[in-house]
Amino acid sequence: MTLPVLFGANVDPVWGEGDQPLRYALQADRAGLDLVTVQDHPYQQAFHDTWTLMAFLAARTERVTFVPTVANLPLRPPAMLAKAAASFDLLSGGRLQLGLGAGAFWEPIAAMGGPRRGKKEAVDALIDAIDVIRAMWSGERTARAGGEYYRVAGIHPGPTPSPSLGIWLGAYGPRMLKLTGARADGWMPSLFSLGLDRLGDAVARVDEAAARAGRDPGAIRKVYNLNGLIEPTSRGDFHGPVGQWVEQIAQVHREHGMNGFAYWPDGDHERQLGVFAHEVVPAVRQALATP
């Protein structure tokens, strides 16, 4: 199975700079991008609540799909997160994908009343959460799912989301990559955490786990979050002119099978987003359409 290549842009959930998130989301929507990603760090003083912001932005836009990168599981119980995601999906006409992670930044999470977990505990909790979320989306009359960290027992699930709603994991370690291939609908690594020198090995781990689980690796949405700048002079990976960006994105797609690219500009966001949407993306699409 070959998925179409998607393109998106990050919108930071800042509240102290007027209507900036709305302006950037509208810009992405009107420019024909596919995705708007919004990071989820509820303990950050400068940030809106990501879920509330995405719902507001969805009501003001027409076509773009929203993705939390990634929903902060330790501060968002999975049964409620599943219900919120399904509701968002139905109310927006299928314009959501549930980005989900095991958790990080445990000090501020604990300061906000959340748990403090080690790496193994965090992944175990994420596995429970996936089971709970799938059960809440199942459409069954009653559901029992989960384990030590999260559990539903005899709950009446609902609402049932559209078939397009999936779980996209932010994953880097071997166990998380295996979980992604075996259980997730998508994968969302970031360039600043997983550079091009390590991307191929990580993709192979995801694809191998998918194959072992009897799944088609090509059916997994693989979105690479790209931080950088489109600028006249090359200064390294994803820091350079439009032609370099086009070549690198096409190469990452062809060599590693990444089928989504979300731009996180290092600065000058509005202009950078415009260049990405109007110059880089059309040229990449043309390059990929050429044998």
Q: pLDDT value at position 215?
A: 98
Q: pLDDT value at position 158?
A: 95
Domain 6-70+170-289 has CATH 3.50.50.60: no
Reduced to 3 states, what is the DSSP secondary structure of residue 56? helix
Taking residue 170's Cβ as centre, other Cβ atoms within 10 Å add up to 23
Q: pLDDT value at position 16?
A: 82
Give the list of residues 6+ apart from residue 117 with CB closer than 8 angstroms, or none: 74, 103, 106, 125
Task: Tell me the average pLDDT across 164-171.
Answer: 98
Say if CB 38 and CB 99 are below 8 A apart: no
| pLDDT of residue 17 exceeding 90 | no
Q: pLDDT value at position 25?
A: 98
37 band by pLDDT with thresholds 50, 70 and 90: very high
Reduced to 3 states, what is the DSSP secondary structure of residue 291? coil
pLDDT per residue as tens digits for the range 122-151: 999 999 999 999 999 999 999 999 999 999
Burial class (CB in 10 A: 0-12, 13-18, 19+), 6: middle
CA 20 to CA 41: how far, in whole Å?
18
CA 282 to CA 217: how far, in whole Å?
26
Greatest Cα-to-Cα distance within the chain, rounded to the nearest angstrom: 60
CA 128 to CA 267: how far, in whole Å?
38
Task: Tell me the average pLDDT across 237-257.
Answer: 98
18 band by pLDDT with thresholds 50, 70 and 90: confident
pLDDT per residue as tens digits for the range 72-125: 999 999 999 999 999 999 999 999 999 999 999 999 999 999 999 999 999 999
Task: Tell me the average pLDDT across 205-222.
Answer: 98
174 band by pLDDT with thresholds 50, 70 and 90: very high
Pick from 14-28, 189-203, 205-219, 270-284: least confident: 14-28
Tokens of 109: 């999470």
CA 13 to CA 16: how far, in whole Å?
10
CA 254 to CA 119: how far, in whole Å?
33
Q: For residue 15, which amino acid is it?
A: W
Please give the share of the chain, as a percent, with pLDDT higher than 90: 98
CA pseudo-torsion sign 138, 92, 103, 114: negative
> pTM for the complete prediction?
0.97
Q: Where are the alpha helices (DSSP H) in 170-256?
A: 174-183, 196-212, 242-256
274 band by pLDDT with thresholds 50, 70 and 90: very high
| pLDDT of residue 291 exceeding 80 | no
| pLDDT of residue 1 exceeding 90 | no
Task: Tell me the average pLDDT across 231-241.
Answer: 97
Please give the share of the chain, as a percent, with pLDDT higher than 70: 100
Say if CB 49 and CB 79 are below 8 A apart: no
- pLDDT averaged over every residue in the chain: 97
